[in-house]
């Protein structure tokens, strides 16, 4: 054969390579590929779990945000309600205070009138007492004057 | 610095002595025929080795068997000692092993990545065999010929029989993959490439043989046996091993991809 081609040796090479290929497949290629696939699966599972966690977290976050928004609305409503109530309370208290002030003023006016009247009466009484005292003193100190007065008053009544 | 100079002087002295001795001693006459050496490298008709006393075979067959035995023992040791200790965070050796497997597997251009396929396994085995087989000649394992001479075992694929075997196996792998994945279309597509086994065989044989011839030529002359073998012997062989493994695996992957491609259905013509 040209180039020393020998079919028997080709078959021997073929046999040799087949044994080698089979051996390498079972001893090296398959175990390494299996391990790599296993590792890939492991990391894929971790990745899936992480993705699932991320989705759950996003859902929780969305729910929390919704709750927060609802609570914010509620707070705003409550704040507005409280503000109205405060305003109403303020108005009520102001009205009451005004009424009280008016009442106090009226009472004070009445008291002042009473006190003024009482003071006038007291003054009149004092004046009368002072006058009586003065007259009494005059009578005690000079009896004729009283008699003269009485005589004069009697004669005038007779004349009349 | 002084020690470096001393070492350099000693090294230069040894080199000079060896150089002088080489020219003084000369080379034996009967091995000096470069034409015979070249012819034997191509045809393997002079130096033949007995295969367990059954048959005289080319030295490359013995090389192929030795390489296979070494590879299988190494694979067995790795399987027993290393693979059970694989961890999800790989160490250096595990990483190297995974890189080799995934790189060669990736060469197969398998359509379902991650799945173990016949072609992927074939490409892995062929790549490892070609690479290690080519590097094998670097070690210069000795064998005794039937004529009683001692020769260094060559790379397995520098023998035309081994190259034909690889070419045919590659073709069969492509054919098998084509039939399995694309049925009749794959079968026809592979048959169209009928010249593939010949071209693959002789490409591999030519490439490996040229490397062998250059190395043989360089080692044949004493004057060329200094410094040059470092480049020719080691660098060429390393590069050669890498390139040949890459070329064959890439070709197998490419043709496999081509023949397993399903034909696009032609759009129906409007009547």
Q: DSSP letter at A114?
A: H
Inter-chain contacts counted by CB atoms under 8 A, chains A and B: 119
**Inside any domain, residue A52:** yes
Establish if B108 touches chain A: CB-CB under 8 angstroms. Answer: no
Q: Convert B179-191 to b/e letters by CB count within 10 Å (16 or more is b).
A: bebbeebbeebbe
pLDDT beyond 60 at B206: yes
Establish if B211 touches chain A: CB-CB under 8 angstroms. Answer: no
**Inside any domain, residue B195:** yes
To test the contact with chain B by mutation, choose from A27, A34, A42, A47 the residue with the greatest count of B C-beta atoms within 10 A, namely A27
CA distances from A154 to A44, A135, A139, A147, A150 (A): 143, 19, 18, 10, 6
**Inside any domain, residue B159:** yes
Chain B residues in contact with A46 by the CB 8 A cut-off are: none
Can you give the pLDDT at residue A142? 62
Q: Provide the pLDDT confidence category of residue B217 given band limits of 50, 70 and 90.
A: confident
**Inside any domain, residue A71:** yes
Q: Provide the pLDDT confidence category of residue B229 given band limits of 50, 70 and 90.
A: confident
Establish if B12 touches chain A: CB-CB under 8 angstroms. Answer: no
Q: Report chain A's mean pLDDT, rounded to a whole number.
A: 89
Cβ distance B88 to A40 less than 8 Å, yes or no, reads no
**Inside any domain, residue B28:** no
Chain A residues in contact with B128 by the CB 8 A cut-off are: 24
The range of the structural domain enclosing residue B78 comes to 33-259
Cβ distance B88 to A39 less than 8 Å, yes or no, reads yes
Cβ distance A4 to B88 less than 8 Å, yes or no, reads no
Q: What does the pLDDT average to over B124-137? A: 91
Which of A135-144, B53-62, B165-174 shows the lowest per-residue confidence on average (mean pLDDT)?
A135-144
pLDDT beyond 80 at B12: yes
Q: Who among B79, B156, B161 is closest to A5 (CB)?
A: B161
Give the span between the Cα atoms of B204 and B218, in whole angstroms: 21
Cβ distance B160 to A5 less than 8 Å, yes or no, reads yes
Q: Which residue of A has its CA nearest to B130?
A: A17
Chain B residues in contact with A33 by the CB 8 A cut-off are: 101, 105, 116, 120
Count of other CB atoms within 10 angstroms of residue B243: 15
Establish if A13 touches chain B: CB-CB under 8 angstroms. Answer: yes
Cβ distance B68 to A19 less than 8 Å, yes or no, reads yes
pLDDT tens readout for residues B76-122? 999 999 999 998 888 899 999 999 988 888 877 666 655 667 888 88
Q: Provide the pLDDT confidence category of residue B271 given band limits of 50, 70 and 90.
A: very low
Establish if A15 touches chain B: CB-CB under 8 angstroms. Answer: no
**Inside any domain, residue A128:** yes
Q: Which residue of A has its CA nearest to B60?
A: A13
Establish if A68 touches chain B: CB-CB under 8 angstroms. Answer: no
Can you give the pLDDT at residue B46? 74
pLDDT tens readout for residues A56-99? 999 999 999 999 999 999 999 999 999 999 999 999 999 999 99
Q: Hey, CA dihedral for B6, B11, B17, B23, is it positive or negative?
A: negative
> Domain total for chain A?
1
Q: What does the pLDDT average to over B213-229? A: 74
pLDDT beyond 70 at B4: yes
**Inside any domain, residue B27:** no
pLDDT tens readout for residues A95-122? 999 999 999 999 999 999 999 999 999 9
**Inside any domain, residue B78:** yes
Q: What does the pLDDT average to over B61-82? A: 94
**Inside any domain, residue A154:** yes
* ipTM, two decimals: 0.79
Q: What does the pLDDT average to over B237-248? A: 87
> Domain total for chain B?
1
Chain B residues in contact with A39 by the CB 8 A cut-off are: 88
B40/chain A closest Cα distance in angstroms: 10
A50/chain B closest Cα distance in angstroms: 18
Can you give the pLDDT at residue A1? 66
The range of the structural domain enclosing residue A46 comes to 42-159
Establish if B58 touches chain A: CB-CB under 8 angstroms. Answer: yes
């Amino acid at each position: 054969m040209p180039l020393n081609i020998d079919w028997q040796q080709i078959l021997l090479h073929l046999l040799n390579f087949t044994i080698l290929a089979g051996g390498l497949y079972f001893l090296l290629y398959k175990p390494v590929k299996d391990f790599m696939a296993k590792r890939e699966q492991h990391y894929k599972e971790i990745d899936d779990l992480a993705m699932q966690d991320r989705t759950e977290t996003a859902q929780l976050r969305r729910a929390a945000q919704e709750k927060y928004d609802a609570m914010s609305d509620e707070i705003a409503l409550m704040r507005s309600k409280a503000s109205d109530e405060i305003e109403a309370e303020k108005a009520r208290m102001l009205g009451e205070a005004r009424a009280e002030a008016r009442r106090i003023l009226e009472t004070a006016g009445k008291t002042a009138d009473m006190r003024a009247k009482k003071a006038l009466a007291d003054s009149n009484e004092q004046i009368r007492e002072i006058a009586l005292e003065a007259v009494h003193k005059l009578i005690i100190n000079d009896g004729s004057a009283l008699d003269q007065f009485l005589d004069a008053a009697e004669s005038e009544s007779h004349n009349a | 610095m002084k020690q470096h100079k001393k070492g350099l002087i000693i090294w230069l002295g040894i080199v000079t002595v060896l150089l002088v001795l080489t020219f003084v001693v000369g080379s034996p006459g009967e091995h000096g025929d470069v034409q015979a050496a070249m012819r034997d490298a191509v045809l393997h008709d002079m130096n033949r080795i007995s295969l367990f006393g059954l048959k005289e075979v080319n030295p490359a067959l013995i090389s192929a068997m030795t390489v296979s035995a070494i590879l299988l023992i190494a694979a067995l040791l790795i399987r027993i000692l290393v693979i059970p200790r694989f961890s999800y965070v790989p160490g250096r050796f595990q990483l190297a092993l995974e890189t080799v497997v995934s790189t060669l597997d990736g060469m197969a251009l398998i359509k379902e990545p991650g799945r173990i396929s016949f072609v992927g396994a074939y490409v892995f085995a062929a790549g490892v065999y070609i690479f290690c087989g080519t590097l094998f000649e670097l070690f210069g394992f000795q064998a005794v010929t039937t004529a009683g001479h001692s020769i260094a075992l060559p790379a397995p694929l520098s023998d035309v029989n081994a190259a034909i075997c690889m070419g045919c196996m590659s073709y069969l792998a492509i054919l098998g993959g084509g039939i399995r994945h694309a049925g009749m279309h794959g079968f026809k597509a592979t048959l169209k490439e009928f010249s593939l086994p010949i071209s693959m065989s002789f490409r591999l044989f030519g490439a490996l043989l040229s490397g062998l011839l250059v190395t043989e030529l360089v080692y044949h002359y004493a004057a060329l046996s200094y410094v040059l073998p470092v480049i020719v012997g080691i660098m060429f062989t390393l590069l050669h091993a890498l390139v040949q493994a890459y070329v064959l695996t890439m070709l197998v992957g490419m043709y496999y991809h081509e023949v397993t491609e399903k034909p696009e259905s032609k759009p129906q013509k409007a009547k």
